[in-house]
A and B are shown apart, each in its own frame.
Chain A
């Protein structure tokens, strides 16, 4: 109860017992927004956006590929941020947030790689190529797996949190490499992106559909992470009195 008397809300909500009910109230809102944005995005993507001149209908994979790829990188940065906060200030909830984000981040990375492969085959003629963008995104998946494996391997949660935080922080260097890979190196990935941008008439509805699905994925990831962090709080604080009262 050290938070009492501090008088700052920020501290109040960094305590697991106050964050747990707050997260519970927020989940339905984020889940609802996720569903709404995704449905609007899918409608625009399939029924408003026209056929792409060079790629035909295969380009419609973009509406989930790009949002998933964005989330895969964004979640990693947020995960590393919470992990660093937990490492620096030994705050329990920060480390739990990092742990809650890792599986969803891995899932988004898998979706980005899978949809990318299925998009690459009809447009580039290959499912996979070892170029900078694809390879660095695959390394991102392995970093998420490494985080999860390390966490599972260390029984003491405090030690696991610290080890995972170091891994997350070392791995964060990979995110700008993924993001700028298409500028720094000549990759196969860049060619296809440019051909989409060179059709400005389509850009408006195409970007609208992609933007809606990006918002939908974002809201989904928040809802999933909040749901998972509530389970993690219960797992770690199962002996606490407040847990008996809320379950």
Chain B
């Protein structure tokens, strides 16, 4: 550990904006992708339910 304390750590030797700007945006970008992945799965599952329900209705109509 080469830091004098937490304020020393967050200051990053005067490069705080560059270092935390890099790490912060990377974290945000990864969080955004995880959110988009979950949303895409939820939408895909909803589309499956809609399609399968429609197919079941079509089958009922054609057999009755």
Contacts and interface: CB of A to CB of B under 8 A. Distances in A.
A126 interface: no
A224 B41 CA distance: 12
A46 B9 contact: yes
B52 to A, nearest CB: 5
Contacts of A56: 13-15
A121 interface: yes
B64 interface: no
A133 interface: no
Contacts of A61: 18-19, 22
Contacts of A201: none
A58 interface: yes
A64 B37 contact: no
Contacts, number: 95
B19 A60 contact: yes
Contacts of B25: 111, 114-115
Contacts of A119: 18, 22
Interface stretch (A3-11, A102-110, A145-153, A154-162): A102-110
Interface string B25-42: 110011001101100110
A67 B10 CA distance: 23
Interface residues of A, number: 38
A122 interface: yes
Contacts of B29: 107, 110-111, 114
Contact of A231 (B40, B52, B55): B40
B35 to A, nearest CB: 12
Nearest to B9: A46
Given A61-B18, A119-B18, A227-B37, A247 B26 contact: no
Interface in A55-98: 56-58, 60-61, 64-65, 68
A47 interface: yes
B25 to A, nearest CB: 6
A33 interface: no
Looking at B17, B25, B26, B49, which has the most chain A CB atoms within 10 Å of its CB? B26
Contacts of A115: 22, 25-26
Nearest to A232: B44
Given A107-B30, A115-B25, 20 more contacts: A47-B1, A48-B1, A58-B12, A60-B19, A65-B22, A103-B33, A107-B33, A115-B26, A118-B21, A119-B18, A224-B33, A231-B40, A231-B43, A231-B44, A235-B47, A238-B47, A238-B52, A243-B48, A244-B48, A247-B45
Interface of B: 1-3, 9, 12-15, 17-19, 21-23, 25-26, 29-30, 33-34, 36-37, 40-41, 43-45, 47-49, 51-52, 55
Leading 6 A-B pairs by shortest Cβ distance: A57-B13, A234-B44, A58-B15, A115-B22, A57-B12, A231-B44
